[in-house]
Structure 1
Amino acid sequence: MQKKLTFLLVLVMGLFLMAACSSKDEKAGGKAGDGEVSGEITVWVHPYTGDADAEKKMWDEIVASYKEKFDVDVKIETIPWANRDQKVLTALAANNGPDVFYAIPDQMPQYADEGMLLELDPYLKDNDMDDFVDTALLSTKWKDKTYGLPILQEAYTLFYNKEVIKAIGEDPEKLPATWDEFSDWAKKAKDKGFYALSYQGGGSMNGTLYPFLWQAGGEVITQDDEVKINNEAGVEAFEFINNMYKKGWIPEDSVTAMEHDALWNGGKMLAVQGSGISLTNLQKSGLDFVIAPPLKNKEQATYGTTGMFVVPSNSDNPDAAAEFIKVVTNAENQRKFNTLTQYIPARESAKDIFDDQKYLSQLSEYTQYAQPGVIHPIGRSIMPGIQAEVQTMMAGEKTPEEAADAAAEAIKAELAKQ
């Protein structure tokens, strides 16, 4: 899939440049910040809930708030999540794509690095940027330039089974805050016949290695292409995962597992990683649980994606598109969007929508620790190579240091393809 996407990106880039050059004289609207905003724009969104009617009403309200300020016709088009990369790239190359579209952290740097996104900084002087959660803005920047504005965040952390906590003789009001404290609980859980944690080794690195790497104070790769996964902090994260597996704190199938729902639902597990979108299933399990802040070693950190809106650089109406992004991500519209979708707003002032919701209010406090993943054009393509090395280590075929070094070589090999 990644090879197919990379080929498509290269092909589309050539077509994109030709299309962009041919359309320069056809742009509507004025220059950034000159106030000449008119014409029309097309906005591509996705189905964020299962209620299409409710989403249409929400978008109608958001568009109406935009039209109060600008005489611009806005066409909202909902496209499916499936094959969204190919659809966006193909449309942009043909110069009939949207003026605004939704992107996630592993897409943005790929597009930005190829010059396919409009830099937004010239439009943001009058925008309240201080209200955005700092970690939400991490995913919108590439090479110190802003290419998107965030509308939602997530924050993954540990959900603990209260019955298991009591069974190991601990207090649900005093949850582990550090690796050492969690390890102490994990030993007690193992001694009492419980697993300490769900580890989905067959899933994304965002939910397995990376949070421990960030907590150790590490980094995978910098935006200047410096590979850091095998430094001291990186090796420490590999060692922590290997230790959990060797000691039986995580299930035997953790090397390749995609989920441990049955073990959690059966009351056999102390903790499981979850987020706001996990709440429904966790509550359906009937188990009494408590949510802990993200763990800390050298740093307190976790994973949490960020959803943003971006403008392609060959938009026919960049000024109107940039102004739409500012409006759709203001506090009022973030409240509308996230009240319906139940994601966490990327603006601090909009988090008041969860004041009367115990769990989401708590999770919204943790977005300050949420890293959006590896912000790099190869962020997605390096995952399989890293995952393979972690799995090899857990299978006992490599030491943590050897696995970290091999992961670093795999990343360098991907860099060499660029």
Structure 2
Amino acid sequence: MKRLGFLLFLVILGIALSACSSNEDSSKANGGEISGEITVWAHPYTGGAEEETAMWDEMIASFEEQYDVKVNFETIPWANRDQKILTALASNTGPDIFYAIPDQMPQYADVGMLVELDPYLENNDMDDFVETALMATQWKGKTYGLPILQEATTFFYNVDVIEAIGEDPNNLPQIWDEFKKWAEKAKANGYYAMSYPGGGSMNHTLYPWLWQAGGNVVNENNEVLINSPEGLEAFEWINDMYQKGWIPEDSITATDHNGLWLGGKILAVMGSADLISVLQEEGDFDFVISQPLKNKEQYAYGTTGMFVVASNSDNPDAAAEFLKTITNADNQRTFNSLTNFIPTRESAKDIFAEGDPLGYVAANTQYALPGVIHPKGRAIMPLIQAELQAMMAGEKTPQEALDAAEKAIEDELAK
């Protein structure tokens, strides 16, 4: 489906769903009799279908024991999930509850496809949730999802390289200027300072530096914010890294530098929980995990996984209660212990034993922003990427690239 057609479909579907929404008064929110039937769609989160089935069966049983509600659960594949969900909702055969990530949620919420959950959350101990995880569930001041998993991306350092450049693995860089000194030493000793997968997502390339510089891309009022002194500082930082050889030569279009990293040629890479298992299985060196770097701000990227309620649900009260149940602390412990993600409730982070590398990653979710929360968040990524690539290739100055990125975003938002 072409992008324009997809967005038009969202608008038309949103109008239809808003017209038939049964969430007008949320009469049973935070109490009252809950009964009936709901359908839940989720995805496979591990390679173990049997273990996941047992996990969901346990969660569903605990809910059904508390409420007179039958839960119909279905696992759907990740491939083409947007189209499958939208088609099902349009034909009124879709689920009451489905899984979403931060760049999907605002697309759905902006056209009225989701139930606002705030009326249901008064007694849900919302203060226990990590603040950055809740940010990912909100659009224009309203909550549309409850988060069940989170990730945090931060620097993993190769201890052998740290020692080779004469630095201390117990005293890692905290700010940009300190990392710059390490980068220069790495280059002088025949190493790259870090990986920069310029052909991949902006979440792993530009955005962390932009947020740390104090900048942003666009807000919910469609104000384009990227062309600012903070944005220029981030563009210049990336350009300097490339021109000075701190990052590999193919960084303009590379999607990973796994070979160089695992081969001991890179000082640091941005990684999350999945990198831990890779290093433990394939790495031939010790590693240490840092907090995100700080400039004006201290931020990193980290996605949040949430469950949402469709606005054409016949039973939004039961659906909201099910979301509250599966995202409580006990069920988050069960879910994230199996899937190796990070709980979004602080109290559930006790699943990590002292010294567990994943615990070090989990401590950084307080800094983890979920990307650009906007209905056009996905669409503007390649536009910014193209300008960064032109800058790194020497075709544009950082300011020229920034000007062009701003114009491209404005044009996309105007469509």
Scaled to the shorter chain, the TM-score interval is over 0.9
Q: Percent same amino acid at aligned positions?
A: 66
Structure 1 residue runs of 4+, over 6 Å off? none
Q: In the superposition, relative to structure 1, how do residues 9 and 94 fare at CA in structure 2: closer, same or farther (>3 Å)?
A: farther
Indicate the residue corresponding to 1:293 in structure 2.
291
Aligned to 1:137, the other structure's residue is in SS state helix
Q: In the superposition, relative to structure 1, how do residues 19 and 396 fare at CA in structure 2: closer, same or farther (>3 Å)?
A: closer
CA RMSD of aligned residues (A): 1.6
Q: In the superposition, relative to structure 1, how do residues 407 and 281 fare at CA in structure 2: closer, same or farther (>3 Å)?
A: same
Within 5 Å, give how 1:82-231 maps onto structure 2: 82-231=79-228
**Structure 1 residue 76: deviation in Å?**
1.0
**Structure 1 residue 273: deviation in Å?**
1.1
2:21–2:313 Cα contact (<8 Å) kept: no
Per-residue Cα deviation, 1:60-103 (whole angstroms, up to 9, x for no partner):
11111212321100011000000000011111100110000000
Q: In the superposition, relative to structure 1, how do residues 137 and 361 fare at CA in structure 2: closer, same or farther (>3 Å)?
A: same
Equivalent-residue separation in structure 2 for 1:65 and 1:335 (angstroms): 15
| Larger deviation, residues 348-357 vs 204-213 | 348-357
Indicate the residue corresponding to 1:394 in structure 2.
392
**Structure 1 residue 47: deviation in Å?**
0.2
Select 1:341's aligned residue among 339, 342, 356.
Answer: 339
1:66–1:327 Cα contact (<8 Å) kept: yes
Per-residue Cα deviation, 1:159-187 (whole angstroms, up to 9, x for no partner):
11111111100001001111000000000
Select 2:32's aligned residue among 22, 31, 35.
Answer: 35
Equivalent-residue separation in structure 1 for 2:270 and 2:326 (angstroms): 31
Q: In the superposition, relative to structure 1, how do residues 22 and 346 fare at CA in structure 2: closer, same or farther (>3 Å)?
A: closer
Aligned to 1:381, the other structure's residue is in SS state helix
Within 5 Å, give how 1:233-312 maps onto structure 2: 233-283=230-280, 284-312=282-310
**Structure 1 residue 331: deviation in Å?**
0.4
Indicate the residue corresponding to 1:367 in structure 2.
365
Equivalent-residue separation in structure 1 for 2:141 and 2:407 (angstroms): 27
1:16–1:95 Cα contact (<8 Å) kept: no
Q: Count matched residues.
A: 413
Equivalent-residue separation in structure 1 for 2:4 and 2:171 (angstroms): 47
1:67 maps onto 2:99 in alignment: no
Q: In the superposition, relative to structure 1, how do residues 234 and 130 fare at CA in structure 2: closer, same or farther (>3 Å)?
A: same
1:32–1:123 Cα contact (<8 Å) kept: yes
Scaled by the length of structure 2, what TM-score is found?
Answer: 0.97
Select 2:73's aligned residue among 71, 76, 79.
Answer: 76
**Structure 1 residue 21: deviation in Å?**
3.9
1:5–1:86 Cα contact (<8 Å) kept: no
Indicate the residue corresponding to 2:43 in structure 1.
46
1:55 maps onto 2:55 in alignment: no
Equivalent-residue separation in structure 1 for 2:14 and 2:296 (angstroms): 44
Scaled by the length of structure 1, what TM-score is found?
Answer: 0.96
1:15–1:94 Cα contact (<8 Å) kept: no
What amino acid does structure 2 have at the position aligned with 1:345? P
What amino acid does structure 1 have at the position aligned with 2:299? A
What amino acid does structure 2 have at the position aligned with 1:67? E
Aligned to 1:169, the other structure's residue is in SS state coil
1:38–1:320 Cα contact (<8 Å) kept: yes
**Structure 1 residue 232: deviation in Å?**
0.6
Per-residue Cα deviation, 1:316-354 (whole angstroms, up to 9, x for no partner):
111000110011111010001000001000000000001
Equivalent-residue separation in structure 2 for 1:288 and 1:402 (angstroms): 41
Select 1:406's aligned residue among 386, 404, 407.
Answer: 404
1:211–1:301 Cα contact (<8 Å) kept: yes
1:30–1:36 Cα contact (<8 Å) kept: no
2:22–2:311 Cα contact (<8 Å) kept: no
Q: In the superposition, relative to structure 1, how do residues 330 and 218 fare at CA in structure 2: closer, same or farther (>3 Å)?
A: same
Aligned to 1:66, the other structure's residue is in SS state helix
What amino acid does structure 2 have at the position aligned with 1:109? P
Aligned to 1:310, the other structure's residue is in SS state strand
Equivalent-residue separation in structure 2 for 1:313 and 1:257 (angstroms): 41
**Structure 1 residue 6: deviation in Å?**
4.4
**Structure 1 residue 35: deviation in Å?**
1.3
Per-residue Cα deviation, 1:2-21 (whole angstroms, up to 9, x for no partner):
x7254134225424544664
Q: Name structure 2 gaps, 5 residues minimum.
A: none
Indicate the residue corresponding to 1:316 in structure 2.
314
Equivalent-residue separation in structure 1 for 2:18 and 2:230 (angstroms): 44
